[in-house]
Structure 1
């Protein structure tokens, strides 16, 4: 599979991908899409998202720091700086595609950040606070990258996100439960880690197999090759090693096992973070193929 866009990487229809791996074809197509950051999409690709794919909603899972860096990189008119940032919504507006409703959900939000910071020594905690206080956000995040995130690895951080990001998971599923939000596209920076985790949860709820979900996740490995060198510069700047630019083939199975062992099932996990059974049924109604 190769992204159909010239300027949007790692784009695909989740339903089509999952159905290609399962004879039962459990998911509706044209409802849930995933991609890498679409900030640099060409005018033609932006038009196609609207006119061809009918995208109504984009869920952006990135942090405010990522938005500020992207705005600076693309020299867009965002009224913000690392030293005096505005709200996340104000920062993201400069990167948005007109005609599509955006929902920024910081998937590495307060609960996740606190969980990482608790693992720092006191001295590194004070260094982190100092960098953040003077607007050196990248340097602050590098302390977490060097001292916590590298050791946890992609799998460890995915499990940490599952446990810590319940609020953000609920916000994502609220949108999936609202038919007026669909078709919906979800992305982070590369469209593989935070995006991969939220999509995995949706696929599992909708009856997709672990093997199909794993296939969908691993597609990002080759879909992102063209920007690997650029991405390595970014991840090295926050203290992360090369492996964070790729996919871990064991991630989906390990996260699935963690959800079942700690919470009992994907349904119980979602209910525990506020995605009620009624909401879960609405998500299934919107994303699951209904057999006649």
Structure 2
């Protein structure tokens, strides 16, 4: 799933990060520099050179966010990258939207916009790391029922503001879906169709909630901003898609970001299924349940389709549905792109 034709940074161990850039010709020298601020990296001493498109940077302090600048040959500036997924113990889909390239050649600013699953299981180490990210606002799309069961854990020191523009991601409440799964889905719900319909609904009916997300991104006191739901895949997935589209990222890249949820959470989902099968006494049709636990192109594709059905183009949707006039859109891009 990870595409390294463009440079990426992946966690290789507690103190190691692997840099990959598969498209770099073998005869091209690429120096790697490291820093804790994405656009203030000192380029005095290189911490490594890509060999066959790879380099492992070690001796990194645990709990510290690192960024890397990849400089080709004698060029003055290079490409800045960071880890896409933040390796928290208690959140499994916590990601930075930075680094994605826009269609006009700019890049989304690292360290400004984060997306995640729920935060109720963050460890003390996670909370210290999160505090260092400097997040100022958390936008929680969950229903009150979900929040009551899994309240967010946030840093105690200078905690971020939390808002709750709750979104009904499907025609059923989360508790109803869970009950259907636990009881063996006696009504024969089509979970895949439920999510297709849900994505269409979110793109065209949860307008106030996503407008609030954009309004907060425009405010200096709300960025860095984190938005999330329970699994960080559907309500959060549509929110992420809308942000990236507004910033000028291609639909292909937006879909790639959406599908990363499957890559990062597949092991956790499989473990949940195993645990569930060991404890339930109900006959469960796993093939019927899998769609609700996964991400599929047709889910987000349904949101894209609904946008075009209702508004003709993404640009018209952003202006008419999200109320992002051209001046607002340009100002947003000026703040969040490099």
Normalised by the size of structure 2, how large is the TM-score? 0.61
C-alpha separation between the residues in 2 aligned to 1:44 and 1:4?
Answer: 11
8 Å Cα contact 2:93-2:264 kept in structure 1: yes
Which of 151, 162, 175 aligns to 1:138? It is 175
- Equivalent residues in 2 for 1:1-292, closer than 5 Å: 1=10, 2-16=85-99, 18-19=100-101, 24-51=105-132, 53-70=133-150, 92=151, 95-98=153-156, 99-108=159-168, 116=171, 138-139=175-176, 142=179, 150=191, 152-229=193-270, 241-273=289-321, 275-277=323-325, 278-289=327-338
* Contiguous gaps of at least 5 residues in structure 1: 71-91, 118-131
- Deviations along 1:4-41, one digit per CA (max 9) or x if unpaired, are 2232211221122x23x979343222111111112211
8 Å Cα contact 2:204-2:306 kept in structure 1: no
Who wins on radius of gyration, i.e. which is larger? 2
8 Å Cα contact 1:61-1:187 kept in structure 2: yes
* Bigger RCO (CA 8 Å, 6+ sep): 1
8 Å Cα contact 2:138-2:225 kept in structure 1: yes
8 Å Cα contact 2:103-2:248 kept in structure 1: no
Query: Larger % of strand: which?
Result: 2
8 Å Cα contact 1:36-1:189 kept in structure 2: yes
* Contiguous gaps of at least 5 residues in structure 2: 1-9, 11-84
Give the secondary-structure state (helix, strand or coil) at the position aligned to 1:250.
helix
- Deviations along 1:153-190, one digit per CA (max 9) or x if unpaired, are 32221011112111111111111111221111111111
Tell me which stretches of 4 or more aligned residues in structure 1 moved more than 4 Å: 139-143, 145-149, 229-233
**Offset of residue 229 of structure 1:** 4.7
Query: Larger % of helix: which?
Result: 1
Give the secondary-structure state (helix, strand or coil) at the position aligned to 2:253.
helix
Give the secondary-structure state (helix, strand or coil) at the position aligned to 2:89.
coil
> How many equivalent pairs are there?
239
